[in-house]
């Protein structure tokens, strides 16, 4: 599972810290359990994701508690916003839960939250970001960046102080595939490219 991968690749103390901070656990069938906990410390939803030994997400996942049953998702890591020590920190908003966790391990001076994929930047989920400085980092694909670029306009209109970091640097999906970085996330980027300050 993901925790096993993290322990093999990162400092064990930091992995234990991130496990406790984000309330990560492992299901009976080996999935990584990501609890969506809101800023009032209420559990909103659970997502169980499966990973291979290289930390790559498999194509299937489970969401035991459904919207139609009254379980509505929030940003993963939103509960951090309830802690005083995070009030003045910049929020890094990424797509996947794994990226947020690795980001925290590598750069704990920020508050790392995940929006759960391209369509997760809803007005309902992002309203909690008002009053914070936010940096949005979508994955490396034209579609992900296009959706984020459109959403960022809406978020700014809703009073959110947010900037976008486009890791594709304007490259097409075909160019990204040629460089073997298509659909990579921030962890992949950290591994391959020096972190640069490229905000728009």
Q: Is the separation of the CB atoms in 162 and 90 below 8 Å? A: no
Q: Is the separation of the CB atoms in 162 and 136 below 8 Å? A: yes
For residue 163, what pLDDT is reported? 94
Q: Which residues pair with residue 91 across a beta bridge? A: 111, 134
For residue 168, what pLDDT is reported? 81
| Pairing of β 161-164 and β 25-26 | unpaired
Q: What is the CA radius of gyration of the chain?
A: 16
pLDDT beneath 50, residues of the chain: 194-200
pLDDT tens by residue, 180-190: 877 877 777 77
Note the maximum CA span of the chain.
45
For residue 199, what pLDDT is reported? 43
For residue 169, what pLDDT is reported? 84
Angle separating helix axes 2-9 and 12-21, nearest 10 degrees:
140
Structure pTM? Answer: 0.88
Which of 125, 127, 136 is closest to 92 using CA atoms?
136
CA distance 66 to 77: 19
The pLDDT mean for the chain works out to: 88
CB proximity list for 183: less than 8 A, separation 6 or greater: 139, 140, 141, 144, 176
Residue 77 sits at φ, ψ, to 5 deg, of 95, 5
Q: CA torsion angle for 16, 33, 38, 161 (degrees, to 10)?
A: 80
For residue 72, what pLDDT is reported? 87
pLDDT tens by residue, 73-101: 899 999 999 999 999 999 999 999 999 99
């Amino acid at each position: 599972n993901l925790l096993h991968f993290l322990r093999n690749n990162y400092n064990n103390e930091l992995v234990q810290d991130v496990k406790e901070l984000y309330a990560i656990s492992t299901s009976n069938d080996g999935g990584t359990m990501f609890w969506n906990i809101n800023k009032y410390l209420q559990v909103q939803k659970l997502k169980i994701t499966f990973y291979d030994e290289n930390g790559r997400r498999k194509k299937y996942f489970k969401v035991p508690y459904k919207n139609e049953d009254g379980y509505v998702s929030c940003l993963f890591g939103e509960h951090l916003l309830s802690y005083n020590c995070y009030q003045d920190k910049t929020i890094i908003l990424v797509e996947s839960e794994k990226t947020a966790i690795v980001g925290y391990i590598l750069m704990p001076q920020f508050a790392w939250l995940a929006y759960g994929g391209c369509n997760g930047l809803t007005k309902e989920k992002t309203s909690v970001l008002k009053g914070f400085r936010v940096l949005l980092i979508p994955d490396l694909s034209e579609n992900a960046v296009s959706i984020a670029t459109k959403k960022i306009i809406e978020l700014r209109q809703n009073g959110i102080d947010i900037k976008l970091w486009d890791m594709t640097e304007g490259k097409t999906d075909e160019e990204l595939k040629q460089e073997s970085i298509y659909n990579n996330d921030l962890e992949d980027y950290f591994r391959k490219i020096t972190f640069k300050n490229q905000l728009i």
